[in-house]
Chains A and B, each alone.
Chain A
C-alpha cells in the first residue's frame, strides 16, 4: 500500500531530513510514526502527498509511483488519501456540513452523492446534531472530528493524520484516537504522526520511531510497544 525504498530527502539548504529510509505499510494497517520535532516526520508526510520530491529512492502509494508521477496526476493521488492536520484547517465561514461537502465538491463529486454522503459521515464521527454549526462554535475535539469527516468524505483507502491530537485536550484526544481505530477496523489504512509517547503506549499499534532522519525502531505489524 505504502512503500519507501532507500528514500533520502535533502533540502536545498543542506538539511538531511530523511536518510535512506526503508518502510512498508500494508493495506489496513494502523501505524504510529513517532519522533521529536525535526526527526523527519513532516518530511515523510510531505513526500507521501508529493508536496516534496524525494532526493533519492522510490516511494509507492497505492498505484502511484511518486518518483515518476506527473504533476497533473498529483490531485488524483491525493484523492486516494485523507489528510487530518494538527490545526484542523477548516474553513471558518462554512458550517460543519459545508466543510465536508466542500472537499467533495472540489473533487467533482455530484451534488446528489454529496447530499447522501455528508450526513452519513457526520454521523460516523458523532456530529449529526452539529452539522449546521460553524467551526468557531465547536470545541477543538469537535473541530478535529469535522476535519476527520472531511478526510473520510471521498472514502480514501488511506488516512494520514499529522499530530491530530496536538491541539486538543488530553481526554478528548482519546476520543479522536478511538475514532481513528474504529475507522481502521472498517478497513482503512491509518498513519498517525505524533510526538506523544503516552498516546502511542496506550494504543498498542505498530510504531515506527524516527530520529534525525533515520528509523530508530519499527515494532512491526500490530506489535506491542517496546
Chain B
C-alpha cells in the first residue's frame, strides 16, 4: 500500500466518525464510562492493597513462652522459628523487656505502678513477635507454634486477618466480573456503531469489492474509526478519572474524620500512577476499538 492510499484511508476513517457522529458519540461515551469504572476499580483495589499491606505489617503473631523453659529449649525454639518459611520476621522479647513494654503500654511509672505488687516475680511471659510473608497463613502458623511444648499460647487478631483476606478475594472476584462485563459491553457498542457506518457505506464497499480492492484496504478505514473512538474514549476517561480521584482526595483532605485521614495517609498519589493509567486506557481503548470494528465489517467482505 502506498502512502497516498494510506492517507486517503485514514482520512476516510476520520470522516466516518463525523458522518456517524451520534453513534460515535455514544460509543465514546460508553467506552470511556467503562474505562473510568475499570480504572477506578483498579485504583481502588491498589489503594485497598496499600492499606492492606500497612495493616498486614502491623498484624503480628505473639507466641508466648512457658516460664519454665531451659536455655537449651529456648535455643531449640529459636532454631525452629528460624526455619519456618512462612515467617517474614521474628523478634525475641525477654521477660524483662516484656514487662517494660507492658508498663509503657499502660502508662505506669515502673517505680510505683501496679507491677510493684509483682516484685516477687515478673508475671509477663517472654515472647516472640512474628510477622508473616502472607497474612492468609496466620492460622496455620499459630497452630504450628502452639504444637510446640515451649509455647503455651500464640495469638493474632484473627478477625482483622479474616476480614482483610476475605475482602481481597471478594474485591478481586467482583472487580474481575465487572471488568469483563464492561469490556464486553464496550465491544458490543463499538461494533454496533461501526456496523452502522459499514451499513451506510455498504454500496461503496460493494463497489470496492467489484473493482478489486483488497479486504485489508476495505477494512482499514473502519479499523481507523474504531481505534480513534477507542483513543478519544481513553483520553476522556483519563481526564474524568483524574478529576474524580483528585476530587476524592480533596474531600478527604478537608475532612476531619480520623479514619479518612488515615486512609489518606496510605493512599497512592495520582501523579505516581497517571502514566500507567493513560497507557492502560490507550491500549485498552485501541484494542477494543480495533476488535469491535473488524468484527463489524466481516459480513460485508464476503462478495
Contacts and interface: CB of A to CB of B under 8 A. Distances in A.
Given A75-B214, A77-B212, A110 B4 contact: yes
A106 B206 contact: no
Interface string B72-108: 0000000000000000000000000000000000000
B255 to A, nearest CB: 58
A78 B210 contact: yes
B211 interface: yes
Contact of A107 (B204, B206, B212): B212
A91 B208 contact: no
A103 B4 contact: no
Contacts of B212: 75-79, 107, 154
Q: Which bucket holds chain A's interface residue count? A: 20 to 34
Contacts of B2: 108, 110
A13 B214 CA distance: 30
Interface in B1-28: 1-2, 4-5, 8
Interface string A100-124: 0011011110110000000000000
Given A108-B5, A110-B4, A91 B214 contact: no
A105 B8 CA distance: 8
B206 to A, nearest CB: 7
Contacts of A209: none
B303 interface: yes
A51 interface: yes
A36 interface: no
B4 A91 contact: no
Interface string A157-176: 00000000000000000000
B220 to A, nearest CB: 10
Nearest to B207: A89
Contacts of B217: 106, 108
A58 B2 CA distance: 35
Contacts of A105: 5, 8
A70 interface: no
Contacts of A153: 211
Nearest to A150: B211
B299 interface: no
B169 interface: no
B172 interface: no
A100 to B, nearest CB: 10
A209 to B, nearest CB: 26
A49 interface: yes
Contacts of B303: 51
A89 B203 contact: yes
Nearest to A107: B212
Contacts of A150: 211
B210 A83 contact: yes
Contacts of A107: 211-213
A106 B212 CA distance: 8
B198 to A, nearest CB: 15
Interface of A: 49, 51, 72, 75-79, 83, 89, 91, 102-103, 105-108, 110-111, 150, 153-154
Which 8 residue pairs across A and B have the least CB separation, nearest first?
Answer: A78-B212, A79-B212, A106-B213, A103-B211, A75-B212, A75-B214, A111-B4, A106-B208
